Amino acid sequence: MIEIRIHGRGGQGNVVAAYLLATAAIDEGWHAQAFPAFGAERRGAPVTAFVRLARFPFRRRNQILHPDFLIIQDPALLHVPGVLDGLKEGGAVLMDGTKPPAGVEAVALPATRLAQEYLGRPVPNTALAAAFFTLTGLLPLTALAGALKARFRGPVLEANLRLIEAAAAAVEAGRWRERIHATAP
């Protein structure tokens, strides 16, 4: 089982990111679950979302305390206590930005900048989702494209489809493949 925790702020779409990851996995025949840690609707407030992916059926619904992967949609959140808590030994961090802060080992992708360029809006979620799939080799990018097609339409969809290609190209494919095998999905 692979457990992913996604940290972001209201308005950055990290809940949608979680739903997209799970949707893509389910479309590829995996068992998956995605849900937010909930709070009042508010732009800018920290939001956490969880994703579980597995090849076997599972039924637990507790919050993820020991993620295999962390996706950080807002680099400023790295300074919030608790954001990196519980990351498993050998776990990996994907963050929005150009450079991880000192003492943090992470793959950085300028997802917000890419989103601004391709979508005209600073919503880093789809770019980070594409990078996650590319880094882990977990699922083909077409699975993410399929999930996007189910959720978006028209020019927004087209722009997102181009964005995910760009994001995928910006990270090292399969860099985290070994970590996936280590977590025994």
- What's the per-residue H, E or C state across 112-181? HHHHHHHHCCCCCHHHHHHHHHHHHCCCCHHHHHHHHHHHCCHHHHHHHHHHHHHHHHCCCCCCCHHHHH
CA distance 6 to 15: 8
- Kindly state the number of chain residues that form the binding site for another protein, as judged by CB under 8 A: 30
**Residue number with CB closer to another protein (83 or 170):** 83
**Residue number with CB closer to another protein (41 or 105):** 41
**Residue number with CB closer to another protein (40 or 102):** 40
CB-CB contact of 65 with 37 (8 Å): no
Q: Is 35 in the site for another protein (CB under 8 A)?
A: yes
**Residue number with CB closer to another protein (2 or 18):** 18
Residues 6, 34, 47, 115: which binds another protein (CB under 8 A)?
34
Q: Is 144 in the site for another protein (CB under 8 A)?
A: no
Sorted by sequence, the CB contacts under 8 Å of residue 134 that are 6+ apart come out as: 141, 167, 168, 171, 172, 173, 174
- Which segment (60-68, 131-139, 152-160, 162-170) binds another protein by CB under 8 A? 60-68
CA distance 81 to 95: 16
Residues from 12 through 31 that contact another protein (CB under 8 A): 18-19, 22-23, 26-27, 31
Point out which residues bind another protein (CB under 8 A).
11, 18-19, 22-23, 26-27, 31-36, 38-45, 58-63, 65, 147, 150
